[in-house]
């Protein structure tokens, strides 16, 4: 059934902010469950899914308390992503989907350490793999971690799950004439600073020819549609 997919192996990035829903903090159980259902549906229809979760709903290094050492704050941010990873695993388990969490910072009591070849094996064995703790390094973002894992997993696409249905030329919440891009080049994203994701992440995708798809994860069926190559948001490539 993999053959019908344009992108049979998907790296799905879910930000902490998406998981927090309308709450200002933490995880909204209904959003978490929705995301898990989307992943479950995609998994059941034959897609191989590796997921990278952010942690911004709990803690961000960049907005840490004033005076706090940046690297120290970033480690807290990475630990925050592990909470989301475990919550997502729990939600997937409730739906009968087998998954493994692998963390870039070892915490063997709750997750496997990140081992590239083992992660690939999990995908081949039809387990969803959830990556926590970002890259394991401060001064990076989970978008960069996701781009890195996408390259390492030989993923066919980097899907950036958001709350909006693509990339706009200005904020669609504030400007009713905002125009959505169907397609963008990696260069355009950087030059026009369209805030799709940070430049380190974009560069990694560009250098490894991994298309980036920005789409609304709250709309049911979008992960599967996107993997089939349907136009569900904005594609960044070329």
Residue corresponding to tokens 């927090």: 20
Query: Shortest Cβ distance from residue 20 to ligand UDP (Å)?
Result: 9
The strand pair at 157-162 and 183-184 is best described as unpaired
Structure tokens at 15: 């930000």
140 binds ligand UDP, rule: CB under 6 A? yes
* Residue 215 near residue 235 (C-beta atoms within 8 A): no
- Smaller CB separation from ligand UDP, 63 or 175: 63
- Smaller CB separation from ligand UDP, 142 or 234: 142
Binding-site string for ligand UDP from residue 37 to residue 76, where x marks contact by CB under 6 A and - marks none: -----------------xxx---xxx----------xx--
145 binds ligand UDP, rule: CB under 6 A? yes
Q: Binding ligand UDP by CB under 6 A: which of 137, 200, 203, 216?
A: 137
d(CA 54, CA 20) in angstroms, rounded, equals 11
102 binds ligand UDP, rule: CB under 6 A? no
21 binds ligand UDP, rule: CB under 6 A? no
Q: Binding ligand UDP by CB under 6 A: which of 9, 51, 89, 134?
A: 134
- Smaller CB separation from ligand UDP, 64 or 190: 64
- Triad 80, 69, 193: Cα angle to 5°: 70
Instruction: Mention every residue, 6+ apart, whose C-beta is less than 8 A from residue 108.
Output: none
Q: Binding ligand UDP by CB under 6 A: which of 48, 99, 141, 234?
A: 141
Query: Shortest Cβ distance from residue 78 to ligand UDP (Å)?
Result: 5
Query: Shortest Cβ distance from residue 217 to ligand UDP (Å)?
Result: 13
- Smaller CB separation from ligand UDP, 5 or 15: 15
* Residue 224 near residue 42 (C-beta atoms within 8 A): yes
Instruction: Mention every residue, 6+ apart, whose C-beta is less than 8 A from residue 179.
Output: 168, 169
d(CA 61, CA 59) in angstroms, rounded, equals 7
d(CA 168, CA 115) in angstroms, rounded, equals 37
* Residue 112 near residue 132 (C-beta atoms within 8 A): no
165 binds ligand UDP, rule: CB under 6 A? no
Q: Binding ligand UDP by CB under 6 A: which of 99, 103, 135, 156?
A: 135
Count of residues that interact with ligand UDP, criterion CB under 6 A? 23
Q: What's the Cα-to-Cα distance from 54 to each of 73, 137, 178, rounded to whole Å?
A: 15, 14, 27
Q: What's the Cα-to-Cα distance from 176 to each of 53, 173, 212, rounded to whole Å?
A: 31, 7, 25
Query: Shortest Cβ distance from residue 2 to ligand UDP (Å)?
Result: 28
Residues in touch with ligand UDP (CB under 6 A): 15-17, 54-56, 60-62, 73-74, 77-78, 80-81, 134-135, 137-138, 140-142, 145
């Amino acid at each position: 059934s993999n053959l019908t997919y344009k992108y049979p192996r998907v790296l799905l990035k879910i930000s902490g902010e998406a998981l927090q829903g309308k709450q200002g903090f933490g995880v909204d159980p209904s959003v978490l469950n929705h995301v898990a259902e989307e992943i479950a549906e995609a998994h059941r229809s034959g897609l191989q899914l590796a997921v990278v979760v952010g942690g911004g709903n709990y803690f961000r290094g960049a907005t840490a308390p004033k005076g706090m050492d940046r690297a120290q704050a970033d480690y807290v941010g990475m630990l925050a992503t592990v909470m989301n990873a475990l919550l997502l695993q729990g939600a997937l388990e409730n739906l009968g989907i087998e998954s493994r969490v692998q963390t870039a910072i070892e915490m063997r009591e709750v997750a496997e350490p990140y081992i590239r070849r083992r992660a690939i094996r999990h995908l081949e064995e039809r387990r969803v793999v959830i990556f926590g703790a970002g890259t394991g390094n401060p001064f990076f973002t989970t978008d960069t971690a996701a781009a890195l894992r996408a390259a390492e997993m030989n993923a066919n696409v980097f899907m950036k799950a958001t709350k909006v249905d693509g990339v706009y030329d200005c904020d669609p919440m504030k400007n009713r004439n905002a125009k959505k891009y169907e397609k963008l080049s990696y260069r355009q994203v950087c030059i026009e600073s369209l805030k799709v994701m940070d430049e380190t992440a974009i560069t990694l995708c560009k250098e490894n020819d991994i298309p980036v798809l920005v789409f609304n994860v709250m709309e049911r069926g979008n992960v599967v549609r996107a993997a089939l190559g349907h136009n569900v948001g904005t594609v960044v490539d070329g």
